[in-house]
Structure 1
Amino acid sequence: MKLRVFIMLVRAYLRASTDEQDANRAKGALKAFATEHGLKIAGFYAENESGASLKRPELFRLLADCEPGDVLLTEQVDRLSRLNAADWEMLKAEIANRQIRVIALDLPTSWAMARPDVNAFTERMFSAVNAMLLDMLAAISRKDYEDRRRRQREGIQKAKSAGAYKGRPVDEARNGAIAKMLEGGQSWSTIQKAAKCSRSTIARIAAQEKEAGRHESSRGGLK
């Protein structure tokens, strides 16, 4: 059976849910996997966004950069998806339409997709098995996400009832630095890298500063 040989680029996806977590934490493990399998990583795409949302610019930049046969490499399936069923189907369709191979370190059956010289039959077989297991792990990841959210809500409600809930502490120093960078005209990408925060955090602080500016203008007009 004829083997298909083509240039295969690997693009590594790293994600963390909150600004306090390090999205690049798994970079070493992904590099080690690539080296062990004779692969070269063409680029890293890291972001601090929820896996339960499709609003992930770095993930979709990765997909847009891929050519048919390229690899999306990630540490765990839950880095890729904690999506609900409808959103997961949309993401899967995007990956399938672009003919991207998904390899996750926590899914050993996917490792065979790292070989560029697999024949068509073997590739189809592993793709089918992989798709089934990806679906299963994505569903488990979603359930884990929903269970943790439910327990969190229950814990907050219990703390509120006991008068002990104070909410998440605000990082005033970091937020102040972000506000100063915004005032100085720094780009959001620069601020995101410097403050190690999500774009949603920058957007929130920008909106707060804009609102504060409105109030200041109003007070000035009343003098």
Structure 2
Amino acid sequence: MLVRAYLRASTKEQDAGRAKADLVDFCQARALTIAATYEENESGASLHRPQLFRLLEDSHPGDVLLIEQVDRLSRLSEQDWDKLKALIKEKGVRVVALDLPTSHMMMKSDDAFTSRMFDAINSMLLDMLAAIARKDYDDRRRRQAQGIAKAKAEGRMKGRPEDAKRNEAITLMLRSGQSWNTIVQATGASRSTLSRLSQRMKATDLAHADNCIPDSGD
């Protein structure tokens, strides 16, 4: 039996290896050694997890997939969680999570009957915790969307600040008659930005022309 530690964080700004010391301490307390560590920064709500699948590819029947919490393994939808579970079962890997005490028994049970009992209990609890993790993910995304919608409605959410220097340069290029393709290639601006600046330029020119109309004296 080899212990393979899996460490995941959602974004590159987060430290995926944050819990490594806790996993090492957990194994040392049980006279076990972590054979390999797999770290990645990917969303738990996605099956795009190269390091997790590399871990499973490296594993042999009876190996342990060690995680800090069940949500490090899955915030997946029910369908994707079923796919991942099927692969874990096919590989014969035991999932052990620090926050799931019943799973700890999977590391020391050699009796076939007892092992099957713990496996059944552990599987049920894993399903439950995975469902809770997904609900937490969905709830946070819903609250975030509600917050954004409220901020927009109240006028508190503005777009990105305008790049005034770039837009001034684009306006000068438009005035000089350069093609939109040339401007896009030179500045990296989108065609929608060029359209907006072109309309602004025309409105400004029109307002300036109106102001320059001589007074008739009437």
Distance (whole Å) between structure 2 residues aligned to residue 14 and residue 90 of structure 1: 20
Instruction: Provide the TM-score with structure 1 as the length reference.
Output: 0.71
Aligned letter for 1:17?
A: S
Q: 2:140 aligns with which of 141, 148, 171?
A: 148
Deviation at 1:163, TM superposition (A): 2.3
Deviation at 1:162, TM superposition (A): 2.0
User: Within 5 A, what are the aligned runs for 1:93-172?
Assistant: 93-115=86-108, 118-166=110-158
Number of residue pairs matched?
A: 166
Deviation at 1:21, TM superposition (A): 1.1
Q: Does 1:215 align with 2:208?
A: no
Q: Does 1:11 align with 2:43?
A: no
Distance (whole Å) between structure 1 residues aligned to residue 57 and residue 158 of structure 2: 42
Aligned letter for 1:123?
A: S
Q: Does 1:65 align with 2:65?
A: no
DSSP 3-state at the match of 1:128: helix
Deviation at 1:147, TM superposition (A): 0.3
Which runs of 5 or more structure 1 residues have no equivalent in the other structure? Answer: 1-7, 169-213, 219-223
DSSP 3-state at the match of 1:91: helix
Deviation at 1:164, TM superposition (A): 2.1
Distance (whole Å) between structure 2 residues aligned to residue 78 and residue 129 of structure 1: 18
Q: Does 1:85 align with 2:61?
A: no
Residue matched to 2:13? 20
Percent sequence identity over aligned pairs = 65
Instruction: Provide the TM-score with structure 2 as the length reference.
Output: 0.72
Which runs of 5 or more structure 2 residues have no equivalent in the other structure? Answer: 161-183, 189-218
Distance (whole Å) between structure 2 residues aligned to residue 166 and residue 111 of structure 1: 50
DSSP 3-state at the match of 1:18: coil
Higher-RCO chain (CA-CA 8 Å, sequence separation at least 6): 1
Distance (whole Å) between structure 1 residues aligned to residue 12 and residue 95 of structure 2: 26
Does the CA-based 8 Å contact 1:37-1:114 persist in structure 2?
Answer: no
Aligned-residue RMSD, C-alpha: 2.1
